[in-house]
Amino acid sequence: PFSPQYCLDHPRDLSLAQLCGVLVSFARLNFQPSSSEEFFSMVTSLELWGLDTHLLTDVVWALCVLQQPRGPLLGLVLGPDFHTRLRGDTSPRAQSWWLKLLQINATARLEAPGYQGPFLPPEALGGHRDGDGDRDKATPLQRGLREALPGALGGPDLVRCDVSTVHGWDIAG
């Protein structure tokens, strides 16, 4: 119903749910609004801590993607109370939120000067991926890549596959 520009110009006309939805859509589209100070200060002045775990993760992730990380919000989702709630949940939905938390963690470390923590503990990674499990779940494209790369590049020692980066992205090869 509202254009992106309208949302940016009139953030006060939107409900909290609408604002969160707009923000997450901007992030998914990687739409970096230019004159958006009012919009972001409005979003981050809201009572976001009351949001449900998953929505709050989405909102903080979106702020990271849009290069608007806010220390207090980073601290909120990277703190132990928060991510232990996601632990043990192995549904695909939870995995995707987990990936967002890793991206938030990387943003907190690399792009939020002055942010002191908390960070996701490194061992948090363990519960959610084990290499063997990932290998079994490789897509046909990933399996093909693994087979083709050594030949294309001239030897298996020139190839790395399934690399998890600090940015939260996995690189297939």
Ligand X SMILES: *[C@@H]1O[C@H](CO)[C@@H](O)[C@H](O)[C@H]1NC(C)=O
* Binding residues vs ligand X (CB under 6 A): 102, 105, 109, 119-120, 122, 124-125
Closest by Cα among 82, 85, 87, 48 to 68 = 48
Rounded least distance, CB 126 to ligand X, Å: 9
Compare residues 13 and 111 and give the one whose CB is closer to ligand X: 111
Q: CB of 43: closest distance to ligand X in angstroms?
A: 24
Smallest gap, in angstroms, from Cβ of residue 81 to ligand X?
A: 16
CB 78 within 8 A of CB 104: yes
Q: Minimum distance between the CB of residue 123 and ligand X, rounded to whole angstroms?
A: 8
In the DSSP assignment, the letter for residue 168 is S
Place of tokens 């702020």: 63
**Dihedral angle of Cα 13, 19, 22, 24, to the nearest 10 degrees:** 170
The residue among 15 and 116 lying less far from ligand X, judged by its C-beta, is: 116
Q: Are 104 and 74 in contact (CB under 8 A)?
A: yes
For ligand X, give the closer residue by CB, 14 or 86.
86
**Is the Cα torsion angle 21, 26, 30, 36 positive or negative in sign?**
negative
Comparing CA positions, the residue from 51, 141, 64, 48 lying closest to residue 99 is 64
Nearer of residues 109 and 146 to ligand X, judged by Cβ: 109
Is residue 163 within a helix (H) or strand (E), and if so which, with residue range? strand 163-164
Task: List Cβ neighbours of 98 (8 Å cut-off, separation of 6 or more).
Answer: 86, 128
Name which of 6 and 169 has its Cβ closer to ligand X.
Answer: 169
Q: How far is the CB of 156 from ligand X (least distance, A)?
A: 27
